[in-house]
Structure 1
């Protein structure tokens, strides 16, 4: 095999490798909502549908009971370590492509092309990895900015907008018993008007604390799992010289999806649809890097609140509605 034919084959392999690298990148760049925290024992269960959120949402982060605040840092670190230990699809594909290119170089070496063929393949491997890495970083930043963000101002909402939704009758058949047990009573206890007012207030206060990067306030009104995840986001933005800003949040509609008790705590999951202005800006100068400072967007999310008996509500989970 001549060096020219080997080089042509190397270019073809590089093009295929680049296309394969883009597959997980594009998938990861798809718009998605911020998901963090937990819903207690219902973290892995689908939230009951409501008029505000007829779609579904599932928990995407490790479950943590609200009573384990002292162990929260260790639990969070263990979860992060476990996540880091699991190779992603993108990493697996990149390793596979790298192996293919290296194998092609070795084949060229053994088939008579000499070390020139191997060097050519290594050069192509470096170029593909460099270009793929740059595209991955750019699209990952775009994905983060396309997620529903939190903001700093709220609008009024009457109690009538929150309406507990009755459970849908479970379908019979194989496996229907477990579904019926979990969906039989999505609303186990009724909430008062003051509770709904607290939920709306927490929505705006959490958003204000995020815009101000006020960790101390977040620790007061959210569980350690939520405040810890947001603190990591703030640190990541600071390293990039950026800060997340939002304004003009307006709560448009809300429904009580579920309420239940477990281990001495009361939980309530509420579907909330709200509009807001959100943008990522430079810390120095305030130049908008991602998002819009003048065009509002609508977001629908499930927010879960928790309190001890007689205690104050805190935000324990945020999930995008799919």
Structure 2
């Protein structure tokens, strides 16, 4: 009797957790309706799988890419970066036995149970319930260990990355006097020199890309971003239309920005720039104009944008990463 009540309590607890998590996920999705969807997308050349250095604008490590067309092991990438990007969460470097254990339980246990097997599938009803509880408990333990490992890894990476050298960037007149825009000068030791005209181009692209997204102007986006980024934007816009939604972004204003890193690969220049900016981000129902997400009030966002410039060409957006 006590065993049955305990089982029911565990099932109820799982149901409560799922019921609380789902609305939170939907709320986060609705709040991040701006261009890029609040995720990390694009490519940074040979540094796609390496986090850009932290800066005074974005002191926290940038998130890895959720969407990228760069393949691990492509020319210019080191073996370490290729290994880090291969195999998903449970096959990250350093996971070792932990990754194999998690994959084993998920594959042989939980998925096997769904098809009539599982850990104790052949022992009858009571043993099947016991097996299910044991599997869920083991999976929870593995996930918690993995999350703790991931948090320690990020904390170590942030500690060693450090802020870019040189004067600290800040909003207001001082930053404007330095560069003629809202950007600080960033690192003075960058392999590729980034000047005031480049920062002005980055700030201009920030506004123009947001405006083109808000107007659903895919043709304009093709002139401002790489084909990879435009493919993501086009897919996101199509999903908005399927939901009868329209995301409108306005009043974009750069508050602070600085250079994370700049480098050259062959005839192509790259610059990753941390930007903190404000904008009005709202989603309305396409047919009625009713507000369904976001707000009429400005919100602040911090992201790392990577720009690419082939020789004798203009800068284009190559990636967006959440900071």
Q: The TM-score by the shorter chain falls in which range? A: 0.5 to 0.7
- 1-side partners of 2:241 and 2:9: how far apart? 41
Normalised by the length of structure 2, the TM-score is: 0.60
Q: Give distance in 2, aligned partners of 1:29 and 1:282.
A: 17
Contact 1:221 1:315 (8 Å CA) reproduced: yes
- Residue in 1 that maps onto 2:56: 51
Say yes or no: does 1:213 pair with 2:216.
yes
Specify the alignment match of 1:192 in structure 2: 195
Alignment partners' CA distance in 2, 1:224 and 1:29:
29
Alignment of 1:142-291 (within 5 A): 158=176, 159=179, 161-166=182-187, 187-291=190-294
Secondary structure of 1:255's aligned partner: strand
Structure 2 partner of 1:313: 315
Distance 1:214 1:9, change over 3 A: same
For residues 51-130 of structure 1, the aligned pairs below 5 Å read 51-60=56-65, 61-64=67-70, 96=110, 99=113
The whole-number CA distance in structure 1 between the counterparts of 2:49 and 2:27 is 22
SS at match of 1:258: strand
Local SS of the residue matching 1:221: coil
**Secondary structure of 2:314 counterpart:** coil
Over 6 Å off, 4+ runs: 5-10
Q: Could you tell me how far 1:309 is from its partner in structure 2?
A: 1.2
For the 8 Å contact 1:38–1:59, the answer to whether it is kept is: no
1:15 — aligned with what? 12
User: 2: CA distance between counterparts of 1:240 and 1:63?
Assistant: 26
DSSP 3-state at the match of 1:302? strand
Q: Give the paired residue count.
A: 237
Larger Rg: 1
- Find the residue that maps to 2:295 and give its secondary structure: strand
Question: Which structure is richer in relative contact order (CA contacts within 8 A, separation 6 or more)?
Answer: 1
When normalised by structure 1's length, the TM-score is: 0.61
Structure 2: any 5+ residue segments left out of the alignment?
33-37, 75-86, 89-102, 127-171
Match 2:298 to one of 272, 288, 296: 296
Aligned CA RMSD, in angstroms, stands at 4.2
